[in-house]
Amino acid sequence: MSSPLRLSFDVACSVEHAFTVWTAGIGTWWPPDHTVTGDRDLVIVLQNGVGGRIYERTPTGIEHDWGEVTIWEPPSRLVYLWHLRRDRADATEVEICFRARGTAATRIEIEHRGWERLGTDGEQWRDRNRAGWATLLPHFQTAITSGDQR
């Protein structure tokens, strides 16, 4: 059984701002090389609420599902099934907790789990996602410093 990926880091903003940038602002920071099509003109959406879809929409209107929100507790917790570039039946699970560190800082804790659902491919996908998180999170951290940080 593969152990979950666990990551944590601090950002200089309120919990509310961090949650909003991750969810409603996902299209402003998610890079094209972490999508199905790689198109620079994509619309990336994370719909709020349980059952909300996570997907990309191409300029021609084609949508590619990436996941589905399973727990929605703004601004402190978000959990979703994740199947970018995989069948939905092979979805892993991502849990993100946003914890206040005073009034102007937030600790973000991510646990990406469920690799055993992928059978013998689980370890390879876990390693691939570890590298993906490492290149994805700097984009989020940059977006946090843009605009109103309340």
The CATH code that applies to domain 7-144 is 3.30.530.20
Q: Name the token pair of 92.
A: 């892993």
Confidence label for 147 from pLDDT (cuts 50, 70 and 90): low
pLDDT at residue 44, rounded to an integer:
97
Which pTM does this prediction carry?
A: 0.93
| Euclidean distance between CA atoms 8 and 4, whole angstroms | 13
Mean pLDDT of the chain: 93
| Euclidean distance between CA atoms 61 and 14, whole angstroms | 35
